[in-house]
Each structure stands twice: as structure tokens, then as C-alpha cells.
Amino acid sequence: MEIARLVYEPAGYKINYMVLGDWDQAISDSRKGKYHAILGAFKSDAPDFLYPKQPVILSNSCFFVRLNSHWHYKHTKDLEPLVLGMVQGYSYGVVLDNYVKNYPDQVYQANGDKALDDLILKLNSGELDVVIEDKSVFKYKAKHLGLKNKFKPANCILPAYSFIAFSPHPNKKDQSQKLISVFNKRYAQLVKDGQIEKIFNSYLNSGD
């Protein structure tokens, strides 16, 4: 969100940021033109949306378990005996997305604006065996729930770039293209000024 504000507010745009409880609904509503964009999307989440040249962050999604767990992720077959927790509607690549479709009874998908809180609390209580989430986001949230040293990563999947994804709706498409042009220009300047690196470093250290 900080990057979006640094990009658009100096250019005269006012950002109205809403936290929606359902990621699938956020994508659907934006696709229908209700919103201009969604923040933190992977291209696999909404391949028909319009994207800037640069992402807002490189997301490193990991499998988190309790400290006393000896489980380690190598491939999806390792997940079959476990109950996996994840935020509903998020995509983690074709392989894992297919696992979720094929084994719905083994997957708990949380939704709402407290979805990650729900997942972390259920992991801590033993209701879930493993949770997949961006490493820095998980650590940050666990810290603020008072559970900083209760979990560990049990391997990570390949990092993926997270973007601001703009609505492809015909009534929004021209605006989307203009907003993308502004983003590309301003983002390049923020990189040159060192502000993007500063934000990334702050984000990566937020859970320490």
C-alpha cells in the first residue's frame, strides 16, 4: 500500500483503499468494474487483468508449522496426511492449486479480513497442521498476535511477483491503462531515488 501511495498521491490521485473479506469477491468485483484495481495480486490470480511492468513485491510463500513439527515439504504428496490452511482465493502456482482442487477435504480456506489471524490461531491450537503464506506477512502477523516464536518454515515454494492488478472492464480499461502508465513512470523514479529498496527492506524485516 505504501508503494501505491508514493506512486499516485504526488501525481494528484486520492487512493481509497478497502480491505475486503473475500479475495475471490475482490477479483470478481474488480473484473465487473466496481473497483479500479486490486493490490497484491499474482498474475495467476487474475490473468485477464492489466498489469504494470513492475511488481510491488517479490512474494516468498512458505509452509509454516509448529516448532515441534518434523514435517518438511518437498512435493504435494507430502501434504496428503495433513490439514493445510490457506487464504481463500489465493493462488500458489499450478501444482499447489491443483492439489487444493483435488483434495478439498484436506484444505481449510479462511476468508474475511481476519483470515490470516484465523489460520495462525488454528495452527497454534493444532486444528491445522500447516499454513501457507508469504514469509514476511506470516511473521509480521504472528508477531502481532503474540506468537512470534511459535512457528517455523518447513520449506518454501518458488518466489512469485505480486502486482497491482487493474480492472479489464470496458468501462475501466482506459483509466487502467492511464494508471499503469503513471505507475511505470513513477515507480522507475522511486527506484532511482532508493525509496523502493528502503520499503522492501522495511517489509522484509517487519517480522523480526
Number of structural domains, the chain?
2
Res. 17 pLDDT band, cuts 50 70 90: confident
Residues 151 and 97 in one domain: yes
Q: Are residues 65 and 128 in the same domain?
A: yes
pLDDT greater than 70 at residue 207 = no
Q: Is the pLDDT of residue 186 over 90?
A: yes
| pLDDT tens by residue, 50-91 | 999 988 887 889 999 999 999 999 999 999 999 999 998 888
pLDDT for residue 23: 81
| Alpha helices (H) in the chain, listed in sequence order | 2-8, 23-31, 94-102, 115-125, 135-144, 173-193, 195-204
pLDDT at site 173:
92
Domain that holds residue 93: 61-156
Residues with Cβ within 8 Å of residue 29, at least 6 apart in sequence: 20, 35
pTM of the predicted model, to two decimals?
Answer: 0.72
Contacts for 178 with CB less than 8 Å, ≥ 6 apart = none
Pair (80, 116) in one structural domain: yes
| Domain shared by 18 and 53, yes or no | yes
The predicted structure's pLDDT at residue 38: 94
- Cα–Cα distance measured from residue 92 to residue 76, given in angstroms and rounded to the nearest whole number: 12
